[in-house]
Amino acid sequence: MRIPKTRTPQKGGKMRTINEIIVHCTATRASQKVTVADVTRWHKQRGFATIGYHYLVDQAGNVFPGRPEATPGAHCLGHNAKSIGIAYCGGLDASGKPADTRTEPQRAALLGLLTELKQKYPSASIHGHRDFAQKACPCFDATNEYAAL
């Protein structure tokens, strides 16, 4: 897997320090198609400048860039300045309850993306959003699942 290209810091700009990679879900039903444009619209409606995540992984396992890595995210209060935010599409079952709805392609894409990000930011720890907020997101224990990376 190759990390999709995102815009890099402007000439002479510095990359920020990354010490956490935080996994999220979009809190949508697994059957719902969600695009970067959808998430961007939702986040703008909440007052964000653009999409809050750096990457979005759809049900087919496609990885799409969101915010540039050099730009702080808007995905985890108190952790945005030094983290990368990744969301997978889904997280709710057919009845709208939190559930690990990752498809096999999503699981593989998330693992590949996290592996590459850990190579790029070796001192960064991987967490689920639920580790920092009273939420089910990402609807699985990302900290334990990715502890070996």
Residue-wise pLDDT tens digits, 53-74: 999 999 999 999 999 999 999 9
What is the model's pTM?
Answer: 0.91
Say whether pLDDT at 7 is over 50. no
At 114, the amino acid letter reads L
The pLDDT, as a whole number, for residue 13 is: 54
Class of domain 20-145: alpha beta
- Tokens standing for 91? 């997280």
Rounded to whole angstroms, the Cα distance separating 47 from 116 reads 31
- Catalytically active residues are 24, 53, 129, 135, 137
Rounded to whole angstroms, the Cα distance separating 98 from 135 reads 10
What does the pLDDT look like over 76-105, one tens digit per residue?
999 999 999 999 999 999 999 999 999 999
